[in-house]
Structure formats: C-alpha cells, structure tokens
Structure 1
Amino acid sequence: MVRDDLYITVPSFFRCPISLDVMKSPVSLCTGVTYDRSSIQRWLDNGNNTCPATMQVLQSKDFVPNRNLQRLIQIWSDSVRDRVDSLESSDSRVSTDSVDSRDQLLVAITDLESGSENRFESLAKIVRFGQDSEENCDFLARTEGFVSVLVGFLDNVDEGLERSVELLEQIVMALNLVLNKIENREGLKNSILKSLKEREVQCLDSLLLVLQQGSVESKIASARVLKSIAVDTESKLLIAEKEGLVTELLKLITPEKDLNLIENALSCLVVISTPKRNKLKLVHLEAVKVFSNLLTSNLNFSVSVTEKVLKLVETVSSTKEGRSEICEEASCVAAIVNKVLKVSNVATEHAVTILWSVCYLFRDQKAQEAVTKANGLTKILLLMQSNCTPQVRQMCVDLLKIFRVNSKSCLSSYDTKTTHIMPF
C-alpha cells in the first residue's frame, strides 16, 4: 500500500501484537487486549487458552469487535492513501511530518477512547494539532466519534480540582475547534444537547468551572460551546437555570476584560436571553447596570460588541421590569441616545427600539428627561432624514409625539430646513 521511501510510521496501537501487521479486523479478548481477528483465531484454534500478550488464562475465549479502533485505522489508512495518490500524481515526496502528526493524533484519540491515564497529554496534543491550521480542524471534524468522546469527558473529572480545570480547559478548547467545521451541524448540536439533558449537572458544572477558573482562551471556548447547545427554549432555560452560570457570563463582560472574551460572552447571552424567564433573570441579576457600564465606557469597542450590548438592552426592555431598570439608569438612556447615529444600521434599530419602549410604550418621565438632556430629539430628527427603515421611522414619529413639540420645546431652536418632516 505504501512505498518504502515514504517512511510512513504506523502507530503501534494499529499493529496486531501477534503478527505485528496493521490490523484489518481488530477484536478484543476478555483481558482487554486487541488483536487482528485472523491472528487470535489461529492462536485459539491451536488449543491455546491464554492471552498472548499477557499470558493470563482466558476466562472466556469469546472476543468482540473493537469498532472504535477499526474506525481509526480506516481513517489513518485513507489519510495515507490520499497522500500516496497525491505523490504519484505530482511525482513528489510525501511530507512525513504531516503524516506523522496525523498518526500521532489518531493515537491520541485512541488514548481518549480507551480511558488512558495520558488523556490530559492526549487532549493537549489534539488542541495543538487543531490550532495549527484550518485543514487540521477539518480533519478532526471528519473523525467519526471524536465529538462524542469529548462530550463524554464533560462529566466530572476526579483528579483533584486543579487538574480537573486543566483537563476541562483542554476538552472545551478541543470541542470549540470543530463546532463550526462539522458538516452535520444539527447532528452535533443534538448530540451535545442530548448529553446535556441526560447529565445536565455534570456538563454544566464543567462548563461553569471553566468560565470561573479557566484561561481567557478556554473561557471563550466554553462560552462558544454554551452558545452552540442553546438551540431551543428548553436548552436555553436549562442553561440559565444553572446556578451561577449567567452571573459568571455577566462578570465576563466588564470593560476591563479581554475584548474577544467580552464579545463571545455577549454572543452567548444574546442567544440564551430570548425566553421571558431568562429576560427576567437578567433583570434580577442587575444586568442593566452591566450593559450600561459597557455603553458608557471610553473603550473603543467594535461595532459588533456595541450591537450585541444594545440587542441585550432591547431584549430586557421588552419586559416591564426591564424597562423600569433602564429608566432608573439615566446614564444608560443617555448612552443609548449616543448610539442612535454613526454606529451601524443594526445598532440604530436597537437603540431606537429601546428609546421607543421606555419613552413611548412605558411613558417614563425620567427616561424622557434623559433623552432631552442628551439632545436625543435632534438626533431623532436627523435620523428621520436618513434612509432609515419604515419601522424605525414610525418609532421616531411616535417618540416626537410623546415630547409634544411646541414653542417651548428644545426643537423650536433647531434651525433646519427639514422641520417639514415633523408629524405635527
């Protein structure tokens, strides 16, 4: 199958202990040792009643197919064959470094599936492999059963707290590498969600532990994993009901945190906040103050971060309790007014919706005064002259009506030829 000058290294796990050849049909004895079916069958047919590798007396001569190992051998064989085909077509030498790295990866995955004590080192090796290139992430995503093994490791880890966190960090980072690469995205989500429902305490405890004690990189990965499993109302409620989880996500979006971490934590909150129960939970956890601190921060946040913060404020403004909290935060209302223009069309729509909700729908006097002080009416007029959407324009009309424009209004001093657009 492979020419001698390619120097392909065969992982030792793939060799039969009897024939030393790559196994075609690996089977395991009751001792746990795996052999090629034809080799162990000949051994037993010759009247032997021991395990060739351990020399233990066999309690049973039955053996079972090792499907996982057979799958890994097939993946490795296909990988080598692809490189051989590439060599023959281009008349060049195969990169042994590339082949060896994939061989080592498959050995690492085998270690995980077999429950080896080296699983921490194996996970670290897998993460480094995936981080090297997009091609490697694709290879991981195509490795059947890899995600299932990782999800299984989200159970409690009993190697001491410090070691547990380190191991869980590697698991969530490895899982994050393939979240956007797997072809059957729905199947992946359903697999994780199924495990979450069956072992919700362990899985969520593991992800929460990483959010609390992990590195910035692993916290980002954990937030992304949480976002990926929040696929329906049931899963969103399940995540939000986990004690301390939403609180920890809110802690990750303070201005002093890493900008990439802030954005990923916000993305997770946006996804899980849609059910009404979760909106109220955000309000009760004083999330409005957290959002306000971000909006009033002098840091140069990306447009995407600003849009997500405004989206969350808009989400909580759809509840009476949320509107009440927003109105109590005058600085928050002023900051929202400042985001009406010059950020993005998405940010504009979120900002206007919030102002419409608290000033027009909720008719809060404090919010109206905050808008006036922040020169909000002028900005609303300017917005109405732009190419805003019909929905935004109608909300602007409603807002202007609320402020009862008259000769004493701040609008009377707004000298412009465009006052004809005023709906009064």
Structure 2
Amino acid sequence: MISSWRRIRRTRAQGVKVDAAAEVSVPTHFRCPISLDLMKDPVTLSSGITYDRESIEAWMDAGNRTCPVSNMVLRSLDPVPNHAVRKMIQEWCVENRLLGIERIPTPRIPISQSDAREMVTRVASAVERKDWGLCKEMAAKVHRVVKESERNRRCVRSSGAGAVLARSFEELSRTSGFEENSSALEEILSTMTAILPLGCDAQSSLGSADSLRALAWLMQSGNLSARRNSVLSIREVVSGNKQRVSALSLTEGSTSALLKLIKEPICPVSTKSSLVVIYYMVTLDHPLREKVASEFSNAGLVSLLLEALVDADRSVCEKALGVLDGMCDAEEGRKSLILHPLASPLLVKKLLRVSDLASEFAVSTLWKLGRVDKGGEERFLGEMVELGAFQKLLVLLQVGCGDTTKEKATELLKSLNARRETMSECNDNHDFGVLKRPR
C-alpha cells in the first residue's frame, strides 16, 4: 500500500493522470457486475442484483428484459436506488481519500415521465399567457434536468418537450421587438438543442418564416452559445426539406450570419453545421440558387473555404469541397474559383488524400471549372496539367470510383491530354506510393 501511494505521488508530480481506483483494491461488492467499475449510483433490480444505474439502463435500452447475472426475467424495469450500498461506497471513499479516491456525490433521483410532462405543460401554459419571463424560467428548469443524466434527456424528449419548446420559440419570434426578449429566446433554444433530434412538429415550428428570422438574428448577434445553438437548429430544420431551404435563403441576414460562423469559428461543430446548411442552399434546385451563390461569392466565401482547406480535418474538407462544388453551378461562384490562385493547387492536392467523398467533390469541381471552352478556363486546365492532375486522375480510375465520378474524370483526362505534350508536368510521386490496387 505504501509503494502504491508513493507511485501515485511520483506520477502526480510528473503531471501524469492517475486512475486511483485502479491503484487501490476496490471491494468486489462495490463494483458493477457489468462495467466492473466502482458504482456511482447503485440500483437494485427485481432479481435482487445491484448494478450501476448507467450500466443497467444501457443494458435495458438495448432491448434486454433479463437480469445480466442471474438471467432471470425482470418483473419490473424500474431499478430501485440502493441507498445502503451507496452510503457504504461513500464511506469507503472517505476512508481512502488519502490514496486519491474521491467521494462519489449523492446522485439525483431521475425524473419520472409524469414530472417531465408537468414541466412541459407549464411551459405551454406560460406561452399561452404570453408570460415570457415564466417561459424562460421553465425552459431553464427543463434544461437543468436534461443535463443531469441521459435518462432524464430521453424522458423529457418522449414527453413532447421538443414540439412545445419550438412552438414557444415561434410564438415569441412573432412578437414585435422580439430582440428585447432575446434572453428568453436563447434559453428556449439552448434547451431545444440539448434534446436534439427534434420531431416533425418541432421542425415545422422552427421552419416558419418568423422562427427562421429569429434564428438568423441570433446566429448573427447572439452570444457564442446562441450562435452555436442557432446553426445546429437550422441544420436540423432544413435537412432534406427544400421548402425550408428556400425559406432560409429568403431570410434576411441568413447568408451573412452563416458566413460569419466560418470567418469567426466558435467550435468545430458549429463550423461543420454552417457548411452543411450552406451546402443545402447552394445546391438547391431553385432559381434562388444563383442569387444565394452570388451573395456568398461576393461576400468572400470561396476564399474562406480555400484557406480552410489548407489544414482542415477530413470532415471539414469533405463539407468545404461539397460547398465549392455547389458554388460552381452558379456563374459567380465559378468565376470566383477560376480566378483564385489557390483553387487549382488545393483541388488537385485533395485528390486521393482525404477520402472517397472528398475526391468525388474535387473531381466534380475540377470538371465544372475545366469544361468551358475559352478564356480563363484554358489557363486553369494548364495549371492542372502542371500540378500533376493527369496522373492523379489516372490513379483514381485505377483504384476505383463511382460511375459519375469516373465519367467526369475521363472527360477531364481527354481535355488535359491535349495540353500534356507542350507542358511540363509536376509529378509528386509520394502521393501514389501508398495506394494499392483493389483485389
């Protein structure tokens, strides 16, 4: 025991995180039979076996209706808190505190379905009376409950909280001067984000013109949390719904707010969500697409995305390349890419380096930029040859790709081949050394 304590002190002095429970011998009856870890919230099933709540609820959520240890069919799926074992564990933690064991906190009792429905009903009642102060207070209470545990979150979601909160947000957005109640909007939005994904009714309410206007305003002018939650909610609302994408495109300030999230990133999640929303907007099969792409292009989106591609991770690369591919369907977006000095080097570089999806988007973008006959496009094709695009496209066809990508790559190769004989190519051999032919 002394040697263990000395080892803990020595590793802590070196800045190494120590798992104290692994160093100290934990009594067997304090360990969860499923996870084998020290129980933080011991509960007993109708079989008489005690487990940690998180582990046994995950077991039952998987569809199991038997006790994992005894294999007995459970008469009740409601675990009962074992206060006696929990107190014994807490006392043991206190006794071993000098060995680095922290006392487990007394767990909160999870809310019941009836408790969740009551809170949701009070939110709805506050909305009917236009009492936005009470609405904010109740939304904050729901949010606190949701953050306590995953079980609470599921319970609140199943009580219909998403639809009620979305209606509250929509009603408040309809009021004149809703900006004065921005704190209530932010609290409602924060609670909704905590219980994502939302149902159809909630998405319908958030997809209204008033709600989108308020979301765009919060995305532009709210605090960091509100801006993040706004774009997450918008992504949830417009996903796969062309009508709502069109409505968002017509919402004043939406394009500048989305662009701001890329120019001034808050977190990876918000950046990726904004890219997904922009992708929906620039690939919309609607006359608005040209207008939206022009707005993004004039605001400098192409430059931002190309700069982000330099050292972006896989997910951001895929989404950024998807947006650039969509921008090429509009005249302004295509011109911005043709004239940008980083366009051809980065698009060629991303071929075969990120993922199959990224390569498909890169090929599609290069194909759209290189299929125009005259002008700056000729220069663009020449740059592609110098950058080794011809050989990369050949390798792409050899390792395999989708039919549409294969057709575009083949057409590009024909255009590039006519320029190869008079131009020197830059062949970066290490790009292809790790590739293997498919079996």
**TM-score > 0.5, shorter chain as reference:** yes
Q: CA deviation at 1:249?
A: 0.6
Q: Which residue of 1 aligns with 2:235?
A: 227
Q: Deviations over 1:41-86 (max 9, x none)?
A: xxxxxxxxxxxxxxxxxxxxxxxxxxxxxxxxxxxxxxxxxxx955
Q: Which residue of 2 aligns with 1:168?
A: 185
- SS where residue 225 of structure 1 aligns? helix
Q: Which residue of 2 aligns with 1:400?
A: 413
- Matched to 1:409, the amino acid is M
- SS where residue 118 of structure 1 aligns? helix
Q: Which residue of 1 aligns with 2:350?
A: 339
* One of 265, 290, 307 as aligned partner of 1:296: 307
The answer as to whether partners of 1:176 and 1:225 remain within 8 angstroms in 2 is yes
Q: Which residue of 2 aligns with 1:265?
A: 274
Work out the CA distance in 1 between the residues paired with 2:294 and 2:249: 13
Q: CA deviation at 1:359?
A: 0.4
Work out the CA distance in 2 between the residues paired with 1:228 and 1:396: 34
The answer as to whether partners of 1:336 and 1:351 remain within 8 angstroms in 2 is yes
Q: CA deviation at 1:349?
A: 0.2
Q: Which residue of 2 aligns with 1:151?
A: 167
- SS where residue 220 of structure 1 aligns? helix
* One of 249, 252, 271 as aligned partner of 1:243: 252
Q: Which residue of 2 aligns with 1:360?
A: 371
Structure 2 gap segments, 5+ residues each? 1-74, 85-105, 433-439
Residues paired across the two proteins, number: 324
The answer as to whether partners of 2:219 and 2:230 remain within 8 angstroms in 1 is yes
Q: CA deviation at 1:120?
A: 2.0
Q: Which residue of 2 aligns with 1:391?
A: 404
- Matched to 2:225, the amino acid is E
1:335–1:407 CA distance, 2 compared to 1 (3 A): closer
* One of 317, 333, 348 as aligned partner of 2:328: 317
The answer as to whether partners of 1:172 and 1:218 remain within 8 angstroms in 2 is yes
1:148–1:108 CA distance, 2 compared to 1 (3 A): closer
Q: Deviations over 1:5-58 (max 9, x none)?
A: xxxxxxxxxxxxxxxxxxxxxxxxxxxxxxxxxxxxxxxxxxxxxxxxxxxxxx
1:299–1:102 CA distance, 2 compared to 1 (3 A): farther
Work out the CA distance in 1 between the residues paired with 2:223 and 2:244: 26
* One of 359, 362, 367 as aligned partner of 1:351: 362
Q: Which residue of 2 aligns with 1:137?
A: 153
Work out the CA distance in 2 between the residues paired with 1:149 and 1:384: 51
The answer as to whether partners of 2:166 and 2:205 remain within 8 angstroms in 1 is no
1:407–1:275 CA distance, 2 compared to 1 (3 A): closer
Q: Which residue of 2 aligns with 1:281?
A: 291
Q: Which residue of 2 aligns with 1:305?
A: 316
The answer as to whether partners of 2:206 and 2:212 remain within 8 angstroms in 1 is no
- Matched to 2:359, the amino acid is T
The answer as to whether partners of 1:306 and 1:347 remain within 8 angstroms in 2 is yes
Larger Cα-atom Rg: 1
Q: CA deviation at 1:306?
A: 0.9
Work out the CA distance in 2 between the residues paired with 1:303 and 1:285: 27
- Matched to 2:151, the amino acid is E
Q: Deviations over 1:251-309 (max 9, x none)?
A: 11126543222111112222233234343233322438324323334764221111111
Work out the CA distance in 1 between the residues paired with 2:419 and 2:267: 44
1:109-148 maps to which residues of 2 (within 5 A)?
Answer: 109-115=120-126, 116=131, 117-144=133-160, 146-148=162-164
Work out the CA distance in 2 between the residues paired with 1:154 and 1:204: 9
The answer as to whether partners of 1:166 and 1:214 remain within 8 angstroms in 2 is no
Work out the CA distance in 2 between the residues paired with 1:401 and 1:96: 68
Within the alignment, does 1:204 sit opposite 2:215 as a pair? no
Q: CA deviation at 1:352?
A: 0.4
1:286–1:226 CA distance, 2 compared to 1 (3 A): closer
- Matched to 1:121, the amino acid is E
- Matched to 1:244, the amino acid is G
Work out the CA distance in 2 between the residues paired with 1:173 and 1:398: 49
Work out the CA distance in 1 between the residues paired with 2:350 and 2:297: 19
Q: Deviations over 1:175-224 (max 9, x none)?
A: 223332x5xx445434544xx1xxx2x31222122102223333222112
Q: CA deviation at 1:412?
A: 10
- SS where residue 343 of structure 1 aligns? coil
Q: CA deviation at 1:405?
A: 4.4
